[in-house]
Amino acid sequence: GENVEQHPSTLSVQEGDSAVIKCTYSDSASNYFPWYKQELGKRPQLIIDIRSNVGEKKDQRIAVTLNKTAKHFSLHITETQPEDSAVYFCAAEAGNMLTFGGGTRLMVKP
Amino acid sequence: KAGVTQTPRYLIKTRGQQVTLSCSPISGHRSVSWYQQTPGQGLQFLFEYFSETQRNKGNFPGRFSGRQFSNSRSEMNVSTLELGDSALYLCASSLGTGRLIYGYTFGSGTRLTVV
């Protein structure tokens, strides 16, 4: 089955800096890659996703890049703000189910 | 459009007891997946139901079971509870058809504490 690895597990940045979270996946048939943000005590919420026919997608301060050849995708957050502090999960779709990475705890210091 | 509804929100049980959690998906969604999330841990996949059939299963002991009803509502059951079963149990619903997972949305979860 699909295996998704996510790095780093924790990331601390200064407010205004950029943050990058990377994921790799194993199933070359995967072609949908969403990212979820989970704030403390809340449910994971979809923040951005990308499909395999696209190499990059941006939504304001958030962008996701996909390299299908290397089987990795990344989340980029620019101009980080304290409210970006949360746990971020990447996921890859295979066989009509999502497999999640282990999560990255992002801390944005004011 | 109502979101994914999980009940109850909080639950305290004693070791050895059993528990049933409920998940009502978004209207029109036919797939319900269940996850266990422990403090500091990721999302551990339990199982997925689609059209009343278990379609995928994670690596959990047989004490964890589930089912889905004709209206797509799903329940999961944990028997002979252990302290290590204390966790946030999340369900997610999606259309479940086609090559892509459209509208994969999580509920707020049920926080289970086993004492």
Query: What's the pLDDT tens digit per position in A55-90?
Result: 999 999 999 999 999 999 999 999 999 999 999 999
Reported as a pLDDT band with limits 50, 70 and 90, residue A97 is confident
Asked if B49 contacts B67 with a C-beta cutoff of 8 angstroms, the reply is: yes
Please tell me the number of Cα atoms within 13 Å of A12 on its side-chain side.
2
On chain A, the residues whose CB falls within 8 A of the CB of B111 are none
Residue A95 confidence (pLDDT) above 80 = no
**What is the chain B residue with the closest CA to A104?**
B42
Task: Tell me the C-alpha distance between B87 and A9, whole Å.
Answer: 20
Percent of residues, chain B, with pLDDT higher than 70: 91
Angle at the Cα of A41 from the Cα atoms of A39 and A46, rounded to 5 degrees: 40
More confident residue, B115 or B99: B115
8 Å CB contact of A36 and B106: yes
**Direct distance between the N- and C-terminal alpha carbons of chain B, in angstroms, rounded to an integer:** 37
Q: What is the predicted pLDDT for the residue at A29? A: 87
Confidence of residue B33 (pLDDT cuts 50, 70, 90): very high
Nearest CA in chain A to B104: A46
pLDDT tens per residue, range B34-53: 999 987 678 988 999 999 99
pLDDT at B26 over 70: yes
The answer to whether the Cβ–Cβ distance between B104 and A34 falls below 8 Å is yes
Cβ–Cβ under 8 Å, residues A89 and A75: no
Query: Which tokens in the block code for residue A109?
Result: 């210091």
B33 and chain A in contact, CB less than 8 A: yes
Residues B55-65: pLDDT tens digits?
Answer: 889 989 999 99
CB contact under 8 A, B108 and A43: yes
* pLDDT reported for residue B98: 61
Locate the chain A residue with the closest alpha carbon to B98.
Answer: A96
In the prediction, which pLDDT does A5 show?
Answer: 96
Q: Would you give the distance in Å from CA A90 to the centre of its chain?
A: 4
Q: How confident is the model at residue A98 (pLDDT cuts 50, 70, 90)?
A: confident
For residue A45, what pLDDT band results from cuts at 50, 70 and 90?
very high
Query: What pLDDT sits at residue B56?
Result: 87
A7 CB neighbours in chain B (<8 A) are: none
Is some CB atom of chain A closer than 8 A to the CB atom of B23?
no
Of A31, A43, A93, the CB nearest to B106: A43
More confident residue, A12 or B1: A12
Minimum CA–CA partner of B93 in chain A: A97
Do the Cβ atoms of A6 and A90 come closer than 8 Å?
A: yes
